[in-house]
Amino acid sequence: MAPHLPSASLPSDFEWGFATASYQIEGAVAKDGRGKSIWDNFCHLEPSRTKGANGDVACDHYHRFEEDFDLLSKYGAKAYRLSLSWSRIIPLGGRSDPINEQGVAFYNRLIDALLARGIVPWITLYHWDLPQGIHDRYGGWLDVEESQLDFERYAKVCYERFGDRVKHWITLNEPWIVSIFGYSTGGNAPGRSSTNPQSTEGDSATEPWIVGKALIMSHARAVALYNKEFKSLQRGKIGISLNGDYYEPWDSQDEHDHQAAERRMEFHIGWFANPICLAEDYPECMRSQLGDRLPKLTDADLLTLRDAEVDFYGMNYYTSQFARHCHTPAPSEDYKGNVDELQENKQGLSVGEPSGVHWLRSTPALFRKHLTRIYRKYKKPIYITENGCPCPGEDRMTVEEAVNDIYRIRYFQDHINAVALSRDEDGSDIRGYFAWSLMDNLEWSDGYGVRFGVTFTDYDTLERTPKKSALLLRDIIESHMVSQSDLAGVKESRI
C-alpha cells in the first residue's frame, strides 16, 4: 500500500529559489568600466518615463551582494537566477569591441560567492538592458543581422568565462516585452512608438515584428553555439524565459471568444515558442493578420533553429485574463491579435483576487491550465523562472506593515500547489520554481513604488528586511516534496 502523501506532490530534487535582474538591483552604473545601456538613457529622459526613478544606485547590489546572498542562505534557497549586464562585460556591446575585465571579475565574484554557499547560479544573458553603444551604432534589435552576431559573441564570452561553474543558462528574458513595450507601446526602453505621444521615434506597425525576429535568431545563434562548442565539455543546460498570460473566453458560450483566447496566447507565446521550441514558422493567425509586416523565417533561419534545441522552457507567469473577440480592432493594439483583454467575464466575475498592481490578479487554477497547455504543446521540461506579486496597498506600507505579507504567502501557496497539480494530475514535467523577486527593486517604468520582493528594501538607507514570505517559501515547497521512491509508489497506486 502506498504511503499517505499530499494530494499534489513535488520531487525531492525540485529546484527552487529567487530571481533578480541586473539593472533592477545592481546600481554602480558608471563604476569599473561599465558602459551605458538603453535603460540608463531611458530612465533619465525628461519628462520622466519611469516616475522619476532610475537604476543609478538601485539596491546597490554591486557593493552589497554578500549581504544579499546571506539572505538567500537564510531563506534556504537552492538556486538563484540572476542576469548579467551586457554593457558591464562589453561596454560598447559589439563583437569587435573590447571586453571589460573588471565587469567579468565582478560576475566571477558573484558566481563564486553563490557556489561557496551551496547555491546554484542560473544565468540570464539578457534581461532587457541592451548596450546603448549598439543601439546608437545600428539601431540595436532593429538590425536583425548585426544584432544576432553581436549577441552571439557576447554569449560566447560568457560561456568561456563562466561556463566552468555555470550549468544553467537562459538566453533572453521575455522577448515579447522587449518587442512590444520597447517598440510598439513605447513604455519601456528604448521607448520607440508611433502611437505613444511621449515617443519621438518609431513605427509601431512594423518595428516590434522586426525586433521579434532579431531576438529569435539571436537566441538561436547563442543556443546553437552552446550546443556545438560548449555543452559536451561544460555539461550545462540552456533555454529561454517566455512570458505570457493564460486566457479564458470572456463569453464561454461564444465561439468567437474561444477563438480569441487561443489567438491571444498565440500572439503572446506562440510568436516565440513555435520557432524556438518547434523550429517552425510563427502561428498561422499571426501570419494571416500581419501579412508582410511579419518578417519571414527563411529556410536558413529554420535550419539554425533546428540546431538550437533548448533543454527547457522557462516560464514567467503572473496572472490570467479573459479574452473577447474585438469586432472593431484598434490599429495601435493589433499586437494583441484583435482581442480585448478583460479582468471580469461577461457575468461580471473577476478572473482572480486583486493584488497591489492593477494588471495582476491571483489566478492559480488558470496557472495550472497554463502549465499543462504549454507542456503538452511544446513538450519541454518547464522551469517557472518568475512568479510573484505585490500585496494590496504594499506601496504605501511601512516596513513593519509590509513584512506581514499574508497575500503574497497565499499567492505562493496557491501557485506552487498549481505546479504540483499540473505535475501530478496532468503529467506536466515541471522541474523548478523561482520567486520574483529576492528584494524590492526598480520595477522598470513603474519605478520604485510597486514592491514584488520577499525582502523589504528601504530605498533611503538601503537596509534589507525579510518579509514573512521569504522565510516560509521553503516550507511551502517542502510540504509538497516526496522522495522518488514515494513518487513511484503514488504512481503505482493510481494505476
**Does some domain include residue 49?**
yes
Confidence of residue 487 (pLDDT cuts 50, 70, 90): low
**Does some domain include residue 5?**
no
Q: Is the pLDDT of residue 76 over 50?
A: yes
For residue 428, what are the domain limits? 10-494
* Percentage of the chain lying above the pLDDT 70 cut: 96
Weakest-pLDDT range from 170-179, 297-306, 325-334: 325-334
**Does some domain include residue 279?**
yes
pLDDT number for residue 329: 79
Supply 188's cell numbers.
519601456
**Does some domain include residue 298?**
yes
The CATH number linked to 382 is 3.20.20.80
Measuring CA to CA, which residue among 315, 310, 359 is closest to residue 169?
A: 310
Confidence of residue 4 (pLDDT cuts 50, 70, 90): very low
Q: Is the pLDDT of residue 370 over 80?
A: yes
pLDDT number for residue 382: 99
pLDDT number for residue 5: 41
pLDDT number for residue 491: 53
Confidence of residue 1 (pLDDT cuts 50, 70, 90): very low
Confidence of residue 495 (pLDDT cuts 50, 70, 90): very low
Average pLDDT over residues 263-272: 98
**Does some domain include residue 38?**
yes
Confidence of residue 331 (pLDDT cuts 50, 70, 90): confident
In Å, how far from its chain's centre is CA 185? 19
* SS3 readout for 153-168: HHHHHHHHHHCCCCCE
Average pLDDT over residues 288-306: 97
Residue in this structure with the C-alpha cell 560567492, named with its chain if needed: 113
Read off the pLDDT of residues 427-464 as tens digits, 9 standing for 90 and up: 999 999 999 999 999 999 999 999 999 999 999 999 99
pLDDT number for residue 192: 98
**Does some domain include residue 375?**
yes
Average pLDDT over residues 257-270: 98
Query: How far is 258 from 251, CA to CA, in rounded Å?
Result: 8
**Does some domain include residue 98?**
yes
Read off the pLDDT of residues 313-322 as tens digits, 9 standing for 90 and up: 999 999 999 9
Q: Which residue(s) pair with 248 in the sheet?
A: 322
pLDDT number for residue 328: 85
**Does some domain include residue 48?**
yes
Confidence of residue 231 (pLDDT cuts 50, 70, 90): very high
Q: What is the pTM for the complete model shown?
A: 0.96
Which residues are the active-site residues?
A: 174, 386
Average pLDDT over residues 296-316: 98
Number of compact structural domains in the chain:
1
Q: For 297-332, b where at least 16 C-beta lie within 10 A, e where not — what string?
A: beeebeebbeebbbbbbbbbbbbbbbbbbbeeeeee
pLDDT number for residue 139: 98
Average pLDDT over residues 148-173: 99
pLDDT number for residue 244: 97
DSSP output for 323-383: EEE-SS--GGGGGG-SEEEESB-TT--BSSEE-SSTT-EE-HHHHHHHHHHHHHHH---EE
Do 126 and 152 form a contact (C-beta atoms < 8 A)?
no
- What mean pLDDT, rounded, does the chain reach? 96
Weakest-pLDDT range from 97-111, 409-423, 469-483: 469-483
In Å, how far from its chain's centre is CA 80? 14
Confidence of residue 330 (pLDDT cuts 50, 70, 90): confident
